[in-house]
Amino acid sequence: MKIMIAGLGLIGGSMAKSLVRAGYSVGGYDLPQVLRRAEEEGAVSEHLRAEDCDVVFVALPPDAAMAYIGGTAFKEGAIVADICGVKEALEQFVYARPRSFRYVGCHPMAGKEVSGFENSSETLFDGASMIVVENEHTDAAAIETLERLFSEMGFGLVKHCSAAYHDAKIAYTSQLAHIVSNAYVKSPTADGFPGFTGGSFQDMTRIAGVDEQVWTRLYMLNRGAVTEELRRLIGHLNEYLAALEGGDESALRELLKLGRLRKAQLDEERKIL
């Protein structure tokens, strides 16, 4: 099986390394200096063109991924799987055009607060989950092939859902969390923090340093779902603010209790997995 990865950053580079670990030879597409480093480290070993490959993973930001998919000649019947953080926009783009390849939208639930091939790792996906998006156009044999590859790459779980369901969930579990962290560090009280922090501050600020070029586009491509989650969060925060401003200790206690119980419920759901 000939496999190519377009985009050898943190995720694409880690995909390449995990596939090499599993015994595959992988081709790569990226800037010359990135591709050269990947070749030197053995992450990619063949100069393949996309049109020669059976499987092409597109590990590029959404706009670049759409440009690549729309401007590349793929092998007849090849599996082309993007791994972008938004799925409806990609689906709409792909299905609006004639195609000879089998498209599958995917999204690995793994990452770091740093980026680039230099931070990629063959173990990044070990035990992680992969989301596979399905609809009436999705080819069952293509999904079967990808699931086998994902297992060999170290993924411990594959979740299936629609593009809309994915985007709504990711708006909450990832995109909103990055907004909160990014906004949290803007307080002037953060100045002079060394010596005054424990784990809470580190946890809250770990993902604040987003790449604004990448994340702005992710937010805009998933604007409806992100806006809904942000509006809901602001509503909850206003409840805490009202209790504090009003000196209503009973109301504050109840809000904290509800949050504690909700967290316990979520922890139980995770145990079921």
CATH (domain of 240): 1.10.3660.10
Residues 132 and 31 in one domain: yes
Task: Give the residue from 161, 188, 203 where a domain finishes.
Answer: 161
Query: In which domain, by residue range, is 211 found?
Result: 166-272
Residues 41 and 108 in one domain: yes
Task: Give the residue from 161, 185, 220 where a domain finishes.
Answer: 161
CB-side exposure of 48: number of CA atoms within 13 Å?
Answer: 22
- Whether the CA torsion 145, 147, 148, 153 is positive or negative: it is positive
Mean pLDDT, rounded, of the chain: 94
Residues 7 and 132 in one domain: yes
Residues 138 and 118 in one domain: yes
Residues 155 and 241 in one domain: no
Residues 86 and 124 in one domain: yes
Query: What are the pLDDT digits (tens) for 128-160?
Result: 999 999 999 999 999 999 999 999 999 999 999
| Bridge partners for 81 per DSSP | 57, 104
Cβ neighbours of 2 (radius 10 Å): 18
Per-residue confidence (pLDDT) for residue 124, from 0 to 100: 95
**Is residue 47 pLDDT above 80, yes or no?**
no
Per-residue confidence (pLDDT) for residue 49, from 0 to 100: 86
**Is residue 57 pLDDT above 80, yes or no?**
yes
Residues 79 and 203 in one domain: no
Task: Give the residue from 143, 161, 179 where a domain finishes.
Answer: 161
Residues 205 and 142 in one domain: no
Q: Percent of the chain having pLDDT more than 90?
A: 88
Per-residue confidence (pLDDT) for residue 256, from 0 to 100: 98
Would you say 74 and 101 are in contact if contact means Cβ atoms under 8 Å apart?
yes
**Is residue 252 pLDDT above 80, yes or no?**
yes
Residues 72 and 203 in one domain: no
Query: The whole model's pTM is what?
Result: 0.90
Question: In total, how many domains does the chain have?
Answer: 2
Where residue 273 falls among pLDDT bands split at 50, 70, 90? Answer: low
Q: Two tokens at 252?
A: 């504050």
Residues 153 and 245 in one domain: no
**Is residue 94 pLDDT above 90, yes or no?**
yes
Residue length of the chain: 273
